[in-house]
Amino acid sequence: MTTFSFKDGSAAVVSRGELQQCEDWRNAFRDCCKDHRFYEIIEDSLANDFEYQYLILRDLAGNVRGIQPFFFVQQNLVEGIRGGVRHVVDAIRKKFPKFLTMRVLMVGCAAGEGHLGALALK
């Protein structure tokens, strides 16, 4: 777990395994049509293409105020290109598989809209 401190609280980057130890995870999306189980299903279904993590936001008293899912994906920068240029890129990728790809950070959900799992004060 990596934790960052801010003026009004802290943020911790955690995996789903660590997140499931947090009691607030089950309540974070309770006001949404798709609760925490939706994010778990998406992570299990798309595990090969996406690297999922979660941000736990705490206030100064240590209370969880929100949980924000986010993920990384390796974006192919020449996905829509055909012809000679694509053949050259494909040949280079045999030696350098990540050539003309970019690791992209996305906040929310990999399938559909995403929400902040906000929690009310206790």
Residue at 23 is within a domain: yes
Residue at 88 is within a domain: no
Predicted TM-score (pTM) of this structure: 0.81
Element (H, E) at 9: strand 9-14
Element (H, E) at 117: strand 117-118
Judge whether residue 1 has pLDDT over 90.
Answer: no
Residue at 86 is within a domain: no
Residue at 94 is within a domain: no
Containing domain of residue 36, as a range? Answer: 2-72+106-118
Tell me the C-alpha to C-alpha distance, in Å, between residue 4 and each of 1, 7, 55, 89: 10, 10, 10, 39
Q: Could you read off the pLDDT of 50-85 as tens digits, one per residue? A: 899 999 999 999 999 999 999 999 999 999 999 999
Residue at 97 is within a domain: no
Q: Could you read off the pLDDT of 5-56 as tens digits, one per residue? A: 999 999 999 999 999 998 899 888 888 778 888 889 888 988 778 899 999 9
Residue at 15 is within a domain: yes
Residue at 63 is within a domain: yes
Residue at 66 is within a domain: yes
> Considering its fold, how many domains does the chain have in total?
1
Element (H, E) at 71: strand 64-76
